[in-house]
Structure 1
Amino acid sequence: MERSIQIAAAQRLRALHDRRQLLLLPNAWDAASACMLARLGFPAVATTSGGVAWSLGWADGERLPLDEMLAAVARITRVTPVPVTVDFEGGYGASPDQVHANVTALIATGAVGINLEDGIAHARLRPIDAAAARIAAARAAANACGLPLVINARIDSWIVAGTANEQARIADCLDRARAYLAAGADCIYPIALAEPAVIGRLCAAIDAPVNIGARTGMPAIAELARLGVARVSTATRLATRAYAAARDAALAMRDSGHFDALDSTFGYADMQALYDAH
Structure 2
Amino acid sequence: MPLAPPSSLREFRQLHQSGLLLLANAWDAGSARVMESLGAKAIATTSAGLAWSQGYPDGDLLPVSRLLDAVASIARVVKVPLTVDMEGGYSSEPHAVGELAAGVLDAGAVGINLEDGSGTVDLLCAKIEAVKLAAARKGTDLFVNARTDVFLRGVGPAERRVEETLARARRLRDAGADGLFVPGVKAPADIKAIASEAGLPLNVMAMVGMAHASELEALGARRLSSGANIATATLGRVAALTTEFLRNGGAVSPPEAGITYPALNALLTRG
Q: Structure 2 length normalisation: TM-score?
A: 0.94
Are the counterparts in 2 of residues 70 and 109 from structure 1 also a CA contact under 8 Å?
yes
Q: How far 1:2 moved relative to its partner?
A: 3.5
Q: Output one character per residue of 1:226-256: Cα deviation in whole Å (capped at 9) or x when no partner.
A: 1110000111111111111111122233345
Q: What does residue 232 of structure 1 align with?
A: 224
Aligned to 1:160, which of 147, 153, 167? Answer: 153
Q: What does residue 133 of structure 1 align with?
A: 126
Q: What does residue 273 of structure 1 align with?
A: 266
Structural mapping, 1:28-67, within 5 Å? 28-67=26-65
Moved more, 198-207 or 44-53: 198-207
Looking at structure 2, the residues matched to 206 and 269 of structure 1 have their Cα atoms a distance apart, in angstroms, of 47
Aligned to 1:186, which of 171, 178, 194? Answer: 178
Aligned to 1:196, which of 171, 188, 192? Answer: 188
State the AA in 2 paired with 1:235.
G
State the AA in 1 paired with 2:204.
I
Aligned to 1:176, which of 147, 168, 172? Answer: 168
Q: Structure 1 length normalisation: TM-score?
A: 0.92
Are the counterparts in 1 of residues 2 and 107 from structure 2 also a CA contact under 8 Å?
no
SS at match of 1:219: coil
Moved more, 197-206 or 68-77: 197-206
Structural mapping, 1:94-109, within 5 Å? 94-109=92-107
Looking at structure 1, the residues matched to 30 and 255 of structure 2 have their Cα atoms a distance apart, in angstroms, of 19
Looking at structure 2, the residues matched to 127 and 260 of structure 1 have their Cα atoms a distance apart, in angstroms, of 48
SS at match of 1:169: helix
Percent sequence identity over aligned pairs: 37
State the AA in 1 paired with 2:245.
M
Looking at structure 2, the residues matched to 117 and 131 of structure 1 have their Cα atoms a distance apart, in angstroms, of 7
SS at match of 2:40: coil
Aligned to 2:23, which of 22, 25, 29? Answer: 25
Looking at structure 2, the residues matched to 93 and 6 of structure 1 have their Cα atoms a distance apart, in angstroms, of 28
Are the counterparts in 1 of residues 195 and 220 from structure 2 also a CA contact under 8 Å?
yes
Looking at structure 1, the residues matched to 130 and 270 of structure 2 have their Cα atoms a distance apart, in angstroms, of 38
| Gaps in structure 2 of 5+ consecutive residues | none
Looking at structure 2, the residues matched to 29 and 116 of structure 1 have their Cα atoms a distance apart, in angstroms, of 17
Are the counterparts in 2 of residues 93 and 102 from structure 1 also a CA contact under 8 Å?
no
Looking at structure 1, the residues matched to 123 and 14 of structure 2 have their Cα atoms a distance apart, in angstroms, of 29
Looking at structure 1, the residues matched to 81 and 30 of structure 2 have their Cα atoms a distance apart, in angstroms, of 15
Q: Output one character per residue of 1:212-237: Cα deviation in whole Å (capped at 9) or x when no partner.
A: 00123221110100111000011111
Q: What does residue 245 of structure 1 align with?
A: 237
Number of aligned pairs? Answer: 270
Looking at structure 1, the residues matched to 123 and 55 of structure 2 have their Cα atoms a distance apart, in angstroms, of 31
Looking at structure 1, the residues matched to 96 and 120 of structure 2 have their Cα atoms a distance apart, in angstroms, of 18
Matched, 1:68 2:66: yes
Cα RMSD (Å) of the superposition?
Answer: 1.6
Looking at structure 2, the residues matched to 22 and 263 of structure 1 have their Cα atoms a distance apart, in angstroms, of 31
Moved more, 51-60 or 213-222: 213-222
Looking at structure 1, the residues matched to 187 and 137 of structure 2 have their Cα atoms a distance apart, in angstroms, of 39
